[in-house]
């Protein structure tokens, strides 16, 4: 059975992960924030984020999709699309 979440629930969880696990100030986690430039994540962080999101959704984000993700909003939309 697939989990379903609203866009807001996805954004809330994503914000929680970025704040709690990556120690990013909550005020910096906005939809237009660039993961690598603004939030200073690196490629290892990106993989870790993908794994944490996989636990959240019970679905794996395909690597080809994750390569196109640049912003916080891109992550949320990719999860939303994955859960459809």
The pLDDT assigned to 83 comes to: 86
- Condensed to tens digits (0 to 9), the pLDDT of residues 23-61 reads 999 999 999 999 999 999 998 998 899 899 999 989 887
Question: Using CA atoms, how far apart are residues 49 and 74, in angstroms rounded to an integer?
Answer: 13
CA distance 51 to 55: 6
Supply the mean pLDDT for the chain. 91
Residue 32: DSSP 8-state: T
Q: Supply the pLDDT for residue 1.
A: 44
What's the whole-model pTM score?
0.89
């Amino acid at each position: 059975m697939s989990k379903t979440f609203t866009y807001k629930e996805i954004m809330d969880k994503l914000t929680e992960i970025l704040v709690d696990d990556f120690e990013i100030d909550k005020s910096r986690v906005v939809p237009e924030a660039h993961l690598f430039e603004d939030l200073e994540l690196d490629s290892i962080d990106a993989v870790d984020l993908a794994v944490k999101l996989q636990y959240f959704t019970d679905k794996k984000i395909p690597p080809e999709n994750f390569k196109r993700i640049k912003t916080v909003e891109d992550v949320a939309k990719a999860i939303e699309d994955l859960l459809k």
